[in-house]
Amino acid sequence: MGKLAIRGGAPLRTEPYPSWPVFDETEIQAVTEVLRSGKWWYGEKVREFEAAYAAFQDAQYGVTCTNGTAALEIAYLACGLGAGDEVIVPAYTFIATASSLLRVNAIPIFADLELDTGNLDPADVEAKITDRTKAIVPVHFGGYIADMDAFRALAKKHNLHLIEDACHSWGGKWQGKGTGALGDCGVFSFQMSKNITSGEGGILVSDNEEIAELARSYSNVGRATNDQFYRHFLPGGNLRMTEMQAALLLVQLSRLEEQTLRREANAEYLNRALAGIPGIALQRPEPRITRRAYHMYIFRFLPEQWPGVSRERFLEAVCAEGGTAWAGYPIPLYQNPVFQRQGTGPENCPLSCPFYGKEMDYTQVHLPRTEQLCAEACWVPHATLLAEEADMQDLADIIAKVWENQVELAS
């Protein structure tokens, strides 16, 4: 395939891959209509989007809020998680999955993942359950749905809440049912990088009316639905979505199914095209995922197959050839400074506060498969998967070219 572009050769591809966000005059018109109406605040458009998105995820109830982080926090509160409760989460995820637990004074307990899915390992989760455990929070990382059959069985066996962090899983389905409504509740993010976006925004979906009503109250300054304006029942926050965000999301939602199916088809094409390259490992097939929402296409760089070549050098070569890929999270969550701090000051609460009654030292946490994934994962952004099959073949050819020229890359 010729000399590598990173060493002065001609790049295999010069055309850019699709960018994000995708929008047109429809979004502009939708926001303009809200502006001209003078009704900008938490009204008809928000209610319309909540109902439409909940239905899209096969859920009965939807409660919007300012962002996915807020959605996690109100989910934890609505499920009754609080002071000293242990909650099992992965360490390969955005920090909000765990930091939102600290915000409600609960204690994140990190469990290891399955290397070939990037998701929580049910066996390690069960090993981490104690008499203080109150919930499991599987993350459908990159859109690959966690083993919800196993987690529902664990939740039932140990009487635990099951809360889905579905912030990468818009439109995903497990055995025909949408994510978010597979456990007690689930949350989604509409931040700028996400597959459906209004810049920021979030939603909780559920089939449980009580959880949905509590989430509504926590997001709406503690008010109760259909009660008097100045009666507040809970210490809620002002976490309400605006009409302009909802208008944007309604338009984005109208495209989401087609985009999801396109990403899924292109990812399947990439799987076939990359299957013969020894230096990378693909995620394992999962027939129970009946529709997958790809927030990213993930594969692993196998360092033992690339003597003298680092993952970062490999990715640099891929991008020089015109491909799109980058490294994932460089460290597990528990190695972040917020979890490495020691001491008894208020900044270390809830870990340093007396209501936990145990010692938690995250500096001693070691999850070998999570740390291996941090060292090996490569992410292809979801916008790339909106291109054509020929563009997928280009990306596969780029990776094959780098593989075939690895000696040149290492020299």
Gap between the Cα atoms of 398 and 17, Å rounded: 13
**pLDDT string in tens for the chain (411-residue length):** 689 999 999 999 999 999 999 999 999 999 999 999 999 999 999 999 999 999 999 999 999 999 999 999 999 999 999 999 999 999 999 999 999 999 999 999 999 999 999 999 999 999 999 999 999 999 999 999 999 999 999 999 999 999 999 999 999 999 999 999 999 999 999 999 999 999 999 999 999 999 999 999 999 988 888 877 788 888 889 999 999 999 999 999 999 999 999 999 999 999 999 999 999 999 999 999 999 999 999 999 999 999 999 999 999 999 999 999 999 999 999 999 999 887 666 667 777 677 777 888 899 999 999 999 999 999 999 999 999 999 999 999 999 999 999 999 987
Distance CA(221)–CA(231), nearest Å, equals: 10
CA 352-357-362 angle, 5° bins: 50
Instruction: Report the alpha-carbon distance of residue 98 to residue 383 in Å, rounded.
Output: 27
The model carries a pTM of 0.95
- Contact predicate 286/144, CB 8 Å: yes
Which fold, 25-252?
A: Aspartate Aminotransferase; domain 2 (3.40.640)
- Which DSSP string do the residues of 294-329 spell out, in sequence order? -SEEEEEE-GGGSTT--HHHHHHHHHHTT---EE--
> CA-to-CA distance for 56 and 245, rounded, in angstroms?
18
Measure the CA–CA gap between 188 and 120, rounded to whole angstroms.
18
Separation in Å, CA 338 to CA 19, 83, 118, 231, 343: 33, 18, 23, 36, 12
Coil, helix or strand at residue 271:
helix
Q: Distances in Å between the alpha carbon of 129 and those of 169, 184, 301, 410?
A: 26, 18, 32, 45
Q: Which two tokens stand for residue 117?
A: 């899915």
Q: Which residues of 222-251 are buried (b: 16+ CB within 10 A; e: fewer)?
A: ebeeeeeeeeeeeebbebbbbbbbbbbbbb
Sheet containing 173-174: order of strands: 177-178, 173-174, 289-291
Domain ranges within the chain, ordered by starting residue: 25-252
Beta bridge partners of 300: 281, 377
User: Please, which residues bridge with residue 329 across strands?
Assistant: none
